[in-house]
Amino acid sequence: MTIAIDFVGTNLGSGTKTYNINFCNELTSIDLTQNIKIFICRNYFKEIEREINENNQIEYIIKPNFLSITFLRLLWMQFIFPFQLKLMGVTKLYSPMNFSPLITKLLNIKVILCLHSNLPWMYFDLMPGNLVRNLITRKMMELSIKSCDLLIVDSHFAKKEIIEVLKLDQKKIEVVYLNINKKYFSAIDNIKIIKNFNYESKYILSVMSCVKYHNIINLLKAYRKLTSDLDFDIKLVLVLQILDKNYFLEIEKFIKSNFTENQIVIFSNLSSDNLPNLYRYAELYVFTSYCEVFGLTSLEAMSQKTPVVISNKSSLPEINGNAAIYFDPDDINEITNSLEMTLTDKSLRKKLIEEGIAQLKKYNSKDNIKKTIRIIENIN
């Protein structure tokens, strides 16, 4: 019996790409009862091949990089991929890309779909991209969910939300938390340093995609209030994956109108190898999102013993527990006060760091990957 995993995806940095790479890195160390064929683009494979160990039960099937283009990937997935699976004798497909082939039932292939976003139903108007593409995306995700044999989601919040939106049978849905890349627990000396960046300067850090539902303008307004009204001398460092170019232009315009040249540092499309040190030396980590089914970056910050200040929306309270200070992302004063309190209260900072270390124990990477594999193996 053979299982296939579809990791053919966009080359843009995203939570889904992070999940795929982390999954591959951990999979080789897990005892498997069935053979696994992993379909992956060449650019993805280059990022993981130096970290994976040889495992005779795992075969990587390298696909051309042009399949990282969304339209071409969907065509391949729907009209070519299913027949490749059938010819290879694959009986189960794990698809962690929010989409899956729709004709697999006709070919007697079981599909386990992993959904990493509820955004198309909860905040459709804040999605990046044009209206037509977003409507097609939502419809394809709905059809994939309806046609799959089992759905895996990243949190209990996500499960409840998607059940309510699509009226799904809760027995069809499993919850498996995400895992943090093992590099965040490696010796810091082995992690990359950004040239010409002063890690000793005081700075607040935020790592996120540049999209409207991450509410970056409100973060900038709160930072402006912190530095002007409260007279804090501290930089704001934004690590942005630019998915919405128009929103990025809006952000640049706001920064130019409200801040001096050296107050805000923006790193766009930065390699994840640079992140551990950025987290480690930050005074605090802040995240202002409206819509997350998990959210890895706050846990990455906790792994580097950095206090976390975060939105109280969606799954974020479930995932971060008592290890964060929460705020309403629509309330500028509340964001500002949360930042100020976390920067100035030493006992609070110590408590958040200690709670963060405890919180991370809930997200053992190997256990989460094992759980996913067992779910796939056990489905009839």
Tens digit of pLDDT at every position of the chain (380 positions): 789 999 997 665 566 777 887 788 788 778 888 889 999 988 878 777 666 667 778 899 999 999 988 889 999 999 999 999 999 999 999 999 899 999 999 999 999 999 999 999 999 999 888 899 899 999 999 999 999 999 999 999 999 999 999 999 999 999 999 888 777 876 555 567 898 899 999 999 999 999 999 999 999 999 999 999 888 899 999 999 998 999 999 999 999 999 998 899 999 988 888 999 999 999 999 999 999 999 999 999 999 999 999 999 999 999 999 999 999 999 999 999 999 999 999 999 999 999 999 999 888 767 888 899 999 988 88
CA distances, 103 to each of 109, 127, 222, 320 (Å): 9, 28, 49, 38
The C-alpha angle 148, 149, 154, rounded to 5 degrees, equals: 75
Sheet holding 173-175, edge to edge: 58-63, 35-41, 2-7, 90-95, 110-115, 150-153, 173-175
pLDDT of res. 191: 67
Token output for 210: 């540049």
pTM: 0.91
Sign of CA dihedral 73, 77, 80, 81: positive
Token output for 336: 């500002």
pLDDT of res. 230: 85
| CA-closest candidate to residue 38, choices 106, 90, 99, 108 | 90
Say whether 2 sits in a helix, a strand or coil.
strand
The CA distance from 320 to 177, in Å, is: 12
The CA distance from 367 to 364, in Å, is: 5
Phi, psi of 311 (to 5 degrees): -60, 150
Say whether 130 sits in a helix, a strand or coil.
coil
